[in-house]
């Protein structure tokens, strides 16, 4: 039987597994298997040639027991309802695990940004916010950038919402430019948070990061910063990196500036030029013999079909959903420390929370303040997960870090729903 790769069904399967282990109340489990509410929209936008194009769009509020929902907006040609629902579920657990006062949300627009000019992107961004109406707000649901969206779109969206309510409302959107209420440290926060988790994991696995070898799948925002930060913070050697077109490997290690230049000139890191460098496929990268593998591209990259070929000691899930449940079990049984996405990549939403707090207070922090607070929260989350794993081991049950993370996160959401009288 083929492995299930539908992202929402995967998210439900992960929840079900944790719910059974922790003895979750049946009513709470039933509530948490589905989003609380979802808005589906068809948004008309006049394009540069005068034609009107209708864009199918979504926004999901998965659960708001712990606070307003929080989650990014994706502009992607293959965006689906199930992907958005899954990402909103994972955001629920991510915010809970980080112990910030948010629920989980997510948004998406089916579009190809590469075929749109700046004017069309602005029109779509503003139309999306107008269509959402009362579905968002700084105390209701707070969007942020995600795949193929950036601070500029967030600025347009914030401005459109401010026009609707009749006053500046910077706190409705995070991931904004600094000039309009953005936070220092926001743009590398996902990767930076992941680096703090990697530091703690390396201690647990007794790996010297200064001598460690790394392979990174993906050279977008997260992968780009992961490369730069792992060199700057730890002095690790990055042997391989890839993007959607292909990858490159060098036994002596890759040069960050040359990679950026290659990407800018050719559109792909696979055309990186240096002595000893050679092209590789994404599959070859995933199966490389390195200390640390960092999937930072898209979901379902490590599956039942290749999990037995993974050779890294640590898998640091910087992407959303890169490892399927079946693969997770294989990695765990093989003794590979697979650190789950909603732990590893929670730095983005944590610093988004910091941005929201700063917007509400109209008092802004230094970059050093942001990183110090982020470090403390990521370190605490890692400790909570490892502590839950140990507690189950003491009861005679071996559980993966992902299951432990789910038990921590789901338990907090269920407790909030119980106290509020939802079940």
> Which residues are identified as catalytic?
106
Q: Which letter does DSSP use for residue 219 in this model?
A: -
Locate tokens 């907090």: which residue? 412
In our burial notation (b when 16+ CB lie closer than 10 A, e otherwise), range 151-160 reads: bebbbbbbbb
> How far apart, in whole angstroms, are the C-alpha atoms of residue 401 and residue 314?
12
Return the bridge partners of 145, or none: 73
What the block records as the tokens of 32 is: 């948490």
Calpha distance 93→89 (Å, rounded): 7
Instruction: Tell whether the torsion through CA atoms of 383, 388, 394 and 397 is positive or negative.
Output: negative
Rounded to an integer, what distance in angstroms lies between the CA atom of residue 180 and that of residue 311? 45
Which helix (DSSP H) or strand (DSSP E) does residue 390 occupy?
A: helix 367-394
Residue 231, burial from CB neighbour count under 10 angstroms (0-12, 13-18, 19+): middle
CB neighbours of 219 closer than 8 A, spacing ≥ 6?
227, 241, 242, 243, 259, 263, 269
- Rg of the chain over Cα atoms, rounded to whole angstroms, equals 21
Beta partners for residue 177, in sequence order: none
Among residues 164, 154, 66, the alpha carbon closest in space to that of 107 is found at: 154
Q: Which two tokens stand for residue 173?
A: 């959107």
- Which residue in this structure is represented by tokens 């230049």? 261
9 to 213, 283, 411: CA distances (angstroms): 34, 24, 20
Sheet holding 103-110, edge to edge: 37-46, 52-63, 103-110, 69-76, 141-145
Residue recorded with tokens 């629902």: 85
């Amino acid at each position: 039987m083929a492995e299930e790769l539908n992202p929402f069904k995967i998210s439900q399967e992960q929840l079900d597994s944790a719910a059974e282990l922790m003895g979750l109340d049946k009513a709470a489990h039933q509530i948490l298997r589905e989003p609380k509410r979802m808005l589906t929209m068809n948004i008309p936008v006049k394009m540069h040639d005068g034609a009107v194009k209708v864009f199918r769009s979504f926004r999901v509020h998965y659960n708001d027991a712990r606070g307003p929902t929080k989650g990014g907006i994706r502009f992607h040609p293959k965006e689906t309802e199930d992907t958005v629902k899954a990402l909103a579920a994972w955001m629920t657990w991510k915010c809970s695990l980080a112990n910030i006062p948010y629920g989980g949300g997510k948004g998406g627009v089916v579009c190809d940004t590469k075929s749109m000019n700046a004017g069309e992107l602005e029109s779509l961004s503003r139309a999306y916010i107008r269509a959402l109406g009362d579905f968002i707000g700084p105390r209701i649901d707070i969007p942020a950038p995600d795949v193929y969206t950036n601070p500029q779109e967030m600025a347009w969206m914030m401005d459109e919402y401010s026009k609707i309510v009749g006053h500046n409302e910077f706190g409705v959107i995070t991931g904004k430019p600094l000039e309009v209420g953005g936070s220092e440290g926001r743009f590398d926060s996902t990767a930076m948070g992941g680096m703090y988790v990697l530091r703690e994991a390396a201690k647990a696995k007794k790996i010297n990061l200064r001598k460690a070898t790394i392979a990174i799948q993906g050279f977008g925002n997260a992968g780009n910063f992961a490369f730069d930060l792992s060199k700057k913070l730890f002095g690790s050697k990055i042997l391989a990196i890839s993007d959607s077109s292909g990858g490159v490997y060098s036994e002596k290690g890759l040069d960050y500036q040359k990679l950026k230049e290659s990407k800018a000139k050719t559109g792909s890191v696979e055309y990186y030029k240096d002595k000893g460098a050679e092209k590789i496929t994404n599959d070859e990268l995933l199966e490389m013999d390195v200390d640390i593998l960092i999937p930072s591209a898209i979901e379902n990259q490590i599956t039942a079909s290749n999990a037995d070929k993974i050779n890294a000691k640590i898998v640091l899930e910087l992407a959303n959903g890169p490892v399927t449940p079946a693969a997770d079990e294989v990695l765990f049984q093989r003794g590979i420390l697979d650190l789950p996405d909603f732990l590893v990549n929670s730095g983005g939403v944590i610093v988004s929370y910091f941005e929201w707090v700063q917007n509400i207070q109209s008092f802004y922090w230094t970059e050093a303040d942001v990183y110090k607070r982020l470090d403390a929260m990521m370190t605490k989350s890692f400790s909570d997960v490892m502590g839950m794993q140990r507690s189950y081991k003491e009861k005679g049950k071996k559980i993966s870090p992902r299951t432990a993370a789910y038990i921590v996160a789901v338990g907090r959401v269920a407790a909030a729903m119980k106290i509020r009288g939802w079940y």
